[in-house]
Structure 1
Amino acid sequence: MTKTAAGPDVRTYVPEGAVDPALKAILGEGSTQRPELVGANGERLLLPEAMYDVLRQVAEALDKGMGVTVAPKNARLTTQEAADFLGISRPTLVRMLERGEIPMEKPGRHRFVRLADLVDYQQHQRNQRREALERMALESERDGLYEATDGPPRRTR
C-alpha cells in the first residue's frame, strides 16, 4: 500500500533480508492440518483460513523484498497517504474530496479519508470501467467493427 503509517495501529514492515525458512515452512503447502502460527518459543496459535491467506501473501511479498503495510479498514489516512494509495496526486485527490466523490472527515484544517472509503471508491471505479468496456465491445460487435478491422490494413496510396 503506502510507505507511511496511517495511524497508531498501523505498522509498516520492511524486509531486512529473505523470509526466514521456518516461516516458509509454516506457510507451506501440502498440509492437511488446520493452519497455525508457531512462535520462536514453540507456542502454537491456530489460524482461520482467511488469516493464513493474508500471512502467505505477506510472507511472499517480504520474500520478494517488498514492503507491506497492514492497516485496519477503518484507519484514517492523510490526503497524501490516500493519494499514494490511489496512485494519484494529492491535489487531484483534494479536488475529488471537495466534489464529494469520496467521503472525508475534516475535524479542523486537515482532511482525513477512511481506508474503507478508498477501497469502496476503487471497487466502484473498477465496476464502472468494466461496464464501459463491455458496452464498447457490444457496440463494436453490433456495428461490425471486428469484421471491418480483420486482416491486414487497407492500402491508402
Structure 2
Amino acid sequence: MLKLATGVKLEIIPYKSGSEGMVAVVGKQVDATSEASVVVLPQVKGGKLRAIASTWDTRIAAMPDLPTAKELGYPGIFIGHWSGVFAPRGTPDAILEKLNNAIDTALKSPELRARLIPQGIQPVGGTRSGFIKFLSDEKARLGPIARAANMKED
C-alpha cells in the first residue's frame, strides 16, 4: 500500500508477528514497520520507536497528536489492525446474535473502554450485518493491493 501510494522503492521483510517486526526496528535490523498500535505504543512511549503516522482513518485516542497518513497527504494509505469474532459455519443464528450482543455491550462499557483505549485499541462493536459488510468492503478495497503486491495465501 505504501509503495503504491508513494512510488517509493521498498524492500518488504515479512515477519510472523507484529512483535517480531517491532523488535527488528528497535534492534536496527530494518528501518521501519507498520504494526498495530497495541504492539508499538509501549515502545513509542518508552522512546524506542518514533511514530510517523496512523494508517487508520482517524487519529488514535491513545496518541492524539499523531497525524493520520491522510492528513499528511496520503489518502491511499489506509489500513487498520482490526479483530473480530468468528464462529464455525452452521452455528445457529440465535447463538450468534447472543454472542454479538454480549460483545457489543462489553465494547461499549466504560470499564473495558478504559482498559483498551490507552493501549491504542479503538473498540467499535456493532451488528453482525455491519461486520459482514465491513469484511466485504475490506476484501474489495484490499484485493487489488494484494494482487499488485503478488501476495499469496500461506
Q: Please say which structure displays the higher CA radius of gyration.
A: 1
**Shared topology, TM-score over 0.5?**
no
Which TM-score bucket, shorter chain as reference? under 0.3
Hey, which of these two has a bigger chunk of strand by percent? 1
State the TM-score, normalized to the length of structure 1. 0.22
State the TM-score, normalized to the length of structure 2. 0.22
